[in-house]
Structure 1
Amino acid sequence: MASGFPHRLGRVLRTPLGVAALSAVGVLALVAALGPPLFADAAARVDTAAAAGAGGAGHLFGTDNLGRDVAARVVVATRLTLGLTLLATAIGVTGGLLLGLAPTVLGRRAGRLVTAAVGVLVAFPGLLFVLFLATIFGAGTAGALLAVGLAIVPPAARLVQNLAAGVAGSDYVAAARILGVGRFRLVTRHVLPNIAEPAVLFTAQTMASILVAFSGLSFLGLGVQSPSYDWGSLLNEQLDRIYVDPVSALAPGAAIVFTGLAFSLAGEVIARAGGRDTTAAPASVPQPGPAAATPPDGALLHVDDLRVTFPGGQTPVRGLTLSIAAGEAVGLVGESGSGKSLSALAVAGLVPHPGRVSAAALRFDGHDVLRRPRTGTALAMVFQDPMASLNPALRVGRQLAEVAEVHLGATRSKAAARAVDRLAAVRIEDPARRARQRPHEYSGGMRQRAMIGMGLMGEPKLIIADEPTTALDVLVQRQILDLLGQVRAESGAALLLVSHDLAVVAQVCDRVLVMYAGRVVEELPVSDLAGRAAHPYTRALVGAVPTLDTDREARLATIQGRPPEPAERPDGCAFAPRCDRATARCLSERPDLTERGPHGRVACWHPVTAQVAGSVAGEAR
C-alpha cells in the first residue's frame, strides 16, 4: 500500500476535519467561479427606491446606499478577494523561498548577510510593515498586492532558513556533498523535498492572515479602489449601518471569517497528512599545513599531522597521522570525545562549520584532497545514524540511483537497475520492491545495509564506517560486520572503521589506532590488542571490556577520571592525570608516537612491556 503524502492526505480527507475543510474550500471555489457570471448584473443594478433597505426576501442581506444587492456584491467580490489573496501569497512564499534558501546556495559571507537582513526585517512589526509598504507603493490594488506580499517574505524566509539549516546538517546531505553533488542540486533534490510539507502548511495558514491584511487595507481605503470592490471595501461601505442594519454590515465580515477558517482547516489537514517536522553549515575545505613527510609506498590513504580546530581554541584532533593500504582494514578506537569520528569526517571533507581542517598531507588514491576535496565514488561513507543518512522524502532506490546518474553517467533506467542490484548485493530481500520504499519502511539494520549499498553504487576504494553498528542489536551487528567483510573481499576496498567497541574492531580490522584527546597514542595489529598493548590507556580500554571469563561477582573495570576538554592543552601526556604509571616527566613533556617493534607505534614514556593472556580478537571471533 502506498504510504506517501497523497495517501496520507486521502486518509485525512475522509475524517470529519477533512470533510469540513474540503467542503469549505469547495464552496469558495464554486462561488468564485460562478459568482461573477451569475450575480454580476444584480450586484451592479442601481435602485434608488430600495436604497439602504433591510434584509428580506428580495434582498437577503439588504441593499447599499445605491440600492445594490449586498449579498450579490459579496458573492461577486469573492473571485477578486481570493485572487488577490493567492497572488499576495505567491509573492510572499516565492520571495521567502529565495531568501530562505540563499544561505544554502551562496557563499558563507553572502549567506550571513542575507540571514542578518532577514532577521532585521522579521523584527519589524508586521502590521506597521504592511502600512509602510502600502504608503510607498500608493493606494490601489497593485500597491496593496505588493505591500501584503512583500510583508510576508521575511517570516517565510526565516522559516525556510531554519528548516533548510536543519536539513543541511543531516547525514544524507553530507553524503551527497562527499559525492560531489552541487549546491543547486542539493537544494532541489535534498532540501526542498524535506521542507515542502511544513512550507505548504505555513502557506495555508498564512493565507488567512493575508486575507485579513488585504481586506484591512481595502477597509482603510488603501487597497481595491472603486469601481472594483472586494470584501474589505464592502465592509467599509456598510460600516456606518452596523447599528441600523447589522446583517448587511456584517455580511462581508462573515465572508472573511468563513474564508479564514477554510484556509486554517486546509492547513490543519495538510499538517496531519504531513506528520513530519524538519546546524551545520557547508563543510570546511582542508587547508594545507606544514611540509608533509613522504607517504609510505602503496598507501591508498595517507594523512600526516591532521588537525581540526574550532573557534575559542578548541582542537578536538591534534596531529593525526595514519596510512591505509589498498584492501586493508584499520580500526580507529577511543572513548567518546577522543576525536575519532571527527577525524573520519575530516578525511572525507565533511567537518561542519566553523571547523577548520589543516594537514601537512592528506592524499587519497594519488590525489591531493587538500586541493581537490571531492573524491567522487572512490570514497564511500557509512554514517552512525542510518535513519539520518537517508533522505526521508525520497525512495531508497532513487537515492542509490542518483549516485550512478551523477558520477557514472548512467541513464535513469540503468541507474535504477543498478540500485536494485546493489540492494541485492547487501542481502536485502526482494530488492525490487524495497527499492520503491522510503527509509521509514526499513528496519535499522536494513537502512544500514542500504547505506553500504549506496557506497557500492560506484567502485569505492575506501569505505569509512563511523560507528556502523550503533543502536543495533547483537545479531544485526554481526550481520552488518559480516557484510562489511564480504564487501571488502568482493570489491577489494579498504576500510576505516570508527568505533568505541574493541570487540567489533577486533572482528573486522587488521590494524588498530587508539586515540585519546585528539591524538593517536598507539598503533598495533589486532592480534596484539589484548596481549601486547603497550600504552596504559589501551590496556585500560581492553580491561574495561567484559569477556566470557570475567568474574560476575567482581565490579566492572573502569577508567577513573575524565578525558580533557578540546580546549585544554596539557603540556605533557594527556592521559597522565588518569594513569597509575605517570611520573613528573609525563606531566611536563608530551611523548611522540615512536616505533615499537616491526608493526607498532606508541606514544608513552613508560610503555607496558609485560604480556597479558587472552585476546579480544579471539573473543570476538
Structure 2
Amino acid sequence: MGRLLRSPAGLTGLLLVLACVVLAVIGPPLWDDEAARINAGEILQGRGDAHPLGTDSLGRDVLARVLVASRLSLVLAALAVLIGVVIGVPLGVLPAVLPRRAGRFVVGLVNSLVAFPGLLLAMFTTIVLGLGARGAVFGIGLATAPALARLTYTLTASVAGSDYVAAARLLRVPRRWIMARHILPNVAEPIILNIAMFLGSALLGLAGLSFLGLGVQAPDYDWGRLLNEGLERVYVHPEVAVGPAAAIMVAGLGFHLFGESLARIAARQAPPGAPDTSSASPAGPDVSSPASPTPAAADPVPDGPGDVLDLRDLWVTFPGGAACVRGVSLTVNSREIVGIVGESGSGKSLTAMAVGGLVPYPGTVRTARLTLDGSDLTRLAPAARRRLLGTSLAMVFQDPMAALNPALRVGSQLAEVPIVHERLSRRPAWRRAVDRLGQVGIGEPGRRARQRPHEFSGGMRQRATIAMGLMGTPRLLIADEPTTALDVTVQRQILELLTEVIDRTGAGALFISHDMAVISQICHRVVVMYAGRVVEELPVADLVSEAAHPYTRALVACLPDMRTDRDQPLATVPGRPPAPTEPDTGCAFAPRCDYATDRCRQQRPVLTPGPGGRRLACWNPVSGPVREGADA
C-alpha cells in the first residue's frame, strides 16, 4: 500500500475508485427522489442554479440521475467481469492439465476468440439474448472471457512447467487437484490485480451498449443511457451530455490506473521463479518402443542388468533433427549410486527426465528397454506406468524452491504422496510427513511442516524435497544437481544425507552433476556423457588413475585442489560441445581433442565393454594418471 500511495498514477486511481464506490453506495439513498421527480415546468432546461447539468425531457435533474446511475453502472460491470472470470479463468487453466491434444485445441480456441473483436461479440450476444441489462452483462462477460483466458494461460504456462507440477503429474494427482492446489493459487494474485483493469473496460463496454440502445432499457438507466438521452441536445446544452460522459471517463480511468499500478508493484515484488509470460506445453511424451529412430547401431549395454534400473538404447529427439540423447544404456543396482557427469547440454538431465517420463513436449522418447524394479515400463499401460513411477521413483531437483509449491505448506505437499497412492486419510499422511522431515534432519518437524517453503533455508528446502521422495517406498532416487545452489557446508550435509538414505532404504540412485569433485565424493560408478552419448564408464575410484577418454581426463584435470598454482589461470576444456542438430559422424569430441586423428573425425568410435564394468568409446585412449591442467 505504501508504494501505491507514493505512485502518482496509483494514488490517483485509488482515489477515483474509492470515489466511485462511495458514490455507488450513497448515491441512490440521497438523490433517488430528486432523480425520479417529474417537473413539467422545467423540461429540457439548460444549466442553472437549481440544476447544474440541466434537466431531461421529463424535467428530472440530470446531475442527480448521473449520481444515482453510478450504482447500476458499477454493479453491472462487476457482474460482467464475474461472468468473464467464471468462464475465462478455468478456460485458461485447462491447457495446463488436459492431455496434450486437448490442451492444444483449447489454446487454439482461446486464440481464435481473442482475435474476434470484443465489442462485436458483445453486441451479437446481446441481440441473441435480448435487449436489456441482462443481455448486455452476458455480452460483455463473454467478450471479457477470452482476454482473461489468454492472461490466465500465459501465467499458468510457466507454473505448469515447474518441478512441483511435474512431480504432481508423476504422482498421478487428479487434474482437478493440480488445478486447484498447484496452479490457481500461484497465479491468483496477478489475475486479481488485472481484474481491476477489466472492470474499467467492462464499464466502458456496458456504457457503449447502452449508448447504442442495446443495454439498459427504460425505466432503468445507467451512464451510457443518460449519455444517449443527452446526445441530441449536445449542441444546445452540452452539459447534459458532459455529465455522464465525464462519469464514464473518470470511472474507467480510475480502475485502469488502479489495476495497472497494482500489477506493476506486484511485478517488482515478485520473487525469483514467479510466473512469467513464457509458454510451456502441458504434457510430455510417453516412453515407448521401438528403439532408436536412427539407423545407427545401438551402443553395447553394461555387462549385466541392474536390479533397480536397466536402461537400454535410449534416444530423446526433438523436431528439426535435434537428437539430445543418442543410444544411452546404463544400469543401477540396489544401494548403488551411479553418477552421470558432463558439460551442460551433454544429455544428463534429459536422460533422467526420460526415465521419469518428464521429457517436455514436443520431445520424443524411444528406448529398447526401460526396466524399473523389475517392471518394463515400455510394456505397461499408461496408468500402470504412472502408478509405478509414482511409488518406485523419487526425484530431487536442482532448485528446491521450484520443486516445492510456494502456495502450500510443506507438510501438505509431502502428505499428498500417500493420500494419492495409498489412499491414506489426511491425518495419517500428515503424521508420516512430519516423521520424514525428522528423518532427513529437520529440527522441530511438526512446526516446520506447517510452514511454507519460503520460510525454509536453501538446505532445509533440499532436505524437504528428499523427504518428499521418501514418502513412498522408492527403489530409484534421481538427484539432478541437488547441491549446485548450496554452499559447501550445506552441500556436504546433503551428500551425506543422500548416502545415508540409500543405505537405509536399499534403493539405487542416479546422481547427475557437472562437478567431478561431488561425483567423486558420493558415487560408486561414473558415466561420462558428451553430445548425448556415453563416452566412458568406470568405477569412481579409478577416475584419476585410470580414466582413458580424453574428455573424462580433461574434466578431471579442470578440477583444482590444494596443490593448484594460484598464479596460473584455471584449466579449461577449449572449444564448445556440438549442437544436437549437428551430424553424428566421427567422434563428437574430436574438434577439441589433442589426440584426434583423421579416423576420429571420420568414424564414430564404438562404446566397447572392458573389465570391471568399464566401457569406453575412443580410438586413441590415454593411459596413466591424470595431471591437473595437462590433460585439459
TM-score with structure 1 setting the length: 0.89
Distance 1:113 1:273 in 2: 32
SS of alignment partner, residue 395 of structure 2: strand
1:232 aligned partner:
224
CA contact (8 A) 2:190 2:266 kept: no
The alpha-carbon deviation at position 30 of structure 1 amounts to 5.2
- Structure-1 separation of matches of 2:303 and 2:210: 74
Aligned partner of residue 485 in structure 2, secondary structure? coil
Pairing 1:598–2:598 present: no
**Whole-angstrom distance in 1 between the partners of 2:597 and 2:16:** 80
Shift of 1:117: 2.9
- The Cα of 1:70 is off from its aligned counterpart by 2.4
Of the candidates 417, 430, 434, which is equivalent to residue 420 of structure 1?
434
**Is 1:209 paired with 2:190?**
no
Q: How far did residue 180 of structure 1 move?
A: 1.9
Which residue of structure 1 aligns with residue 334 of structure 2? 326
User: Which secondary structure state, in structure 1, belongs to the residue aligned with residue 245 of structure 2?
Assistant: helix
- 1:156-214 superposed Cα distances (whole Å, 9 cap, x missing partner): 22111111111111111112122222333222211111111111112111110110111
Alignment correspondent of 1:373:
385
Match of 2:319 among 302, 311, 324: 311
Cα RMSD between the aligned structures? Answer: 2.9
Of 65, 69, 73, 2:65 maps to 73
Q: Which amino acid aligns with 1:406?
A: V
Question: Aligned residue for 1:284?
Answer: 285
CA–CA distance in 1 between the matches of 2:114 and 2:402?
A: 31
**CA displacement at 1:465 relative to structure 2:** 0.7
Question: 1:6 — aligned with what?
Answer: none
SS in 2 for 1:284: coil
The 5 A counterparts of 1:9-24 are: none
Judge conservation of contact 1:448–1:468 (CA < 8 Å) in 2: yes
Give the C-alpha shift of residue 244 in structure 1: 4.9
Which 5+ residue runs of structure 1 have no aligned equivalent? Answer: 1-8, 615-621
Number of residue equivalences: 605
In structure 2, what is the equivalent of residue 618 of structure 1?
A: none
Correspondence 1:255 to 2:263:
no
1:52 maps to 2:44: yes
Helix, strand or coil at the partner of 1:538: helix
Letter in 2 for 1:345: M
Compared CA separation, residues 110 and 409, structure 1 to 2 (3 A): closer
> Would you say the 8 A contact 2:306–2:331 is kept in 1?
no
**Separation in structure 2 between the aligned mates of residue 189 and residue 266 of structure 1, nearest angstrom:** 29
Deviation of residue 377 (structure 1)? 3.2
Other-structure match for 2:295: none
Opposite residue 280 of structure 1, the aligned amino acid is A
Q: Secondary structure of the equivalent of 2:479?
A: strand
TM-score by length of 2: 0.88
Contact 2:163 2:403 survives alignment (8 Å)? yes
Relative to structure 1, is the Cα distance of residues 185 and 209 closer, same or farther in structure 2, using a 3 angstrom cutoff?
A: same
C-alpha spacing 1:33/1:555, structure 2 compared with 1 (3 Å): closer
Q: Work out whether residues 80 and 202 of structure 2, in 8 Å CA contact, stay in contact via their aligned partners in 1.
A: yes
In structure 2, list runs of 5 or more residues that go unmatched. 293-297
Distance between the aligned counterparts of 2:624 and 2:158, measured in 1? 51
1:153 aligns to 2:145 (yes or no): yes
- Which of 582, 586, 590 is equivalent to 2:596? 582
Q: Is the 8 A contact 1:295 1:302 kept in 2?
A: no
Distance 2:342 2:536 in 1: 11
Partner residue, 2:215: 223
Separation of aligned partners in 2, 1:613 and 1:167 = 46
Task: Quote the Cα distance in structure 1 between the aligned partners of 2:3 and 2:568.
Answer: 57
- The residue aligned with 1:404 is 418
Contact (CA 8 Å) 2:405, 2:453: kept in 1 or not?
A: yes
Residues in 1 aligned to 2:501 and 2:360: alpha-carbon distance in whole angstroms: 29
1:355/1:16 CA distance change after superposition, 3 Å: closer
Which whole-Å CA distance do the structure 2 matches of 1:607 and 1:12 have between them? 64
CA distance in 2, matches of 1:186, 1:327: 33
Q: Is the 8 A contact 1:390 1:439 kept in 2?
A: yes
Look up the equivalent residue of 1:534 and give its one-letter code. A
> Secondary structure of 2:517's match?
helix
Partner-residue secondary structure (3-state), 2:477: strand
Matches within 5 A, 1:435-584: 435-584=449-598
Tell me the residue number matched to 1:181: 173
Whether 2:99 is the aligned partner of 1:107: answer: yes
Q: Against the structure 1 CA distance between its residues 270 and 544, is the aligned structure 2 distance closer, same or farther, given a 3 Å change threshold?
A: same
**Structure 2 CA distance, aligned partners of 1:267 and 1:555?**
53
SS of equivalent to 2:580: coil
TM-fit CA distance, 1:134? 4.5
Cα distance change of structure 1 residues 206 and 444 upon mapping to structure 2, 3 Å threshold: same
- Take 1:127 and 1:546, find their aligned partners in 2: how far apart are those partners? 66
SS of the residue aligned with 1:304? strand
Residues 271-318 of structure 1, C-alpha deviation per residue, up to 9 Å, x if partnerless? 346843524321211111249989945611110001100001111100
> Aligned-pair distance for 1:218?
0.7
User: What amino acid does structure 2 have at the position aligned with 1:356?
Assistant: T
Q: Secondary structure in 1 aligned to 2:545?
A: coil
Cα separation, partners in 2 of 1:382 and 1:336, compared to 1, 3 Å: same
The 5-angstrom pairing of residues 22-101 of structure 1 reads: 28-29=20-21, 31-33=23-25, 35-36=27-28, 39-54=31-46, 58-59=50-51, 61-101=53-93
For residues 112-168 of structure 1, the C-alpha deviation after alignment (integer angstroms, 9 at most, x for no partner) is 233223223323344444445555555433332232222212222211111111111
Bigger Cα displacement from structure 2, 304-313 vs 372-381: 372-381
167-176 vs 440-449, greater mean Cα deviation: 440-449
